[in-house]
Amino acid sequence: MSKKVINVVAAAIEKDGLIFCAQRPEGKSLAGFWEFPGGKLEEGETPEEALIREIKEEFDSEIEIISYLNEASYEYDFGIVTMKTYLSKLISGDLELLEHQDSKWLPVDRLKELNWAPVDVPAVECLQKK
């Protein structure tokens, strides 16, 4: 049986030379792993629309997408996650943690210190090459 493919989008949110990192909450899949915030695409949405909506829902904040960063896939036990990541900036709000247990703002050269969810690792590597 083939695994289901889950299409998600994520934001590498940059502010003052730092990147926003969010930690997944206990009780959810990949609990404790760090990720770039975002979520699943809904029917009829573009990746950009989905990302703006997800950041509003999960952090009560608004972002502006600056550029496309990368796409990566990773096969987890629950399915194959294909994630498009976009470099973004915060327009309004304070990125309140409505669904995550912790967050950090880190310079790009320190991102590797965190235990990233596997699908997020290629985006971390892309940021470090910029």
Average pLDDT, the chain: 95
The model carries a pTM of 0.94
Rounded to the nearest angstrom, the gap between the alpha carbon of residue 104 and the centroid of all alpha carbons in its chain is: 13
Helix, strand, or coil (residue 122): helix
1 pLDDT more than 90: no
- Which whole number is the average pLDDT over 70-83? 96
2 pLDDT more than 90: no
Question: d(Cα 12, Cα 34) in Å, to the nearest integer?
Answer: 12
For 5-129, CATH gives 3.90.79.10
CB pairs under 8 A, 24+ apart, for 1-5?
A: 3/75, 3/78, 3/79, 3/80, 4/79, 4/80, 5/79, 5/80, 5/81, 5/82
The CA–CA distances, whole Å, from 35 to 21, 31, 112 equal 6, 10, 12
- Which whole number is the average pLDDT over 4-16? 95
In the chain, the amino acid numbered 108 is: V
Q: What is the DSSP letter of 117?
A: -
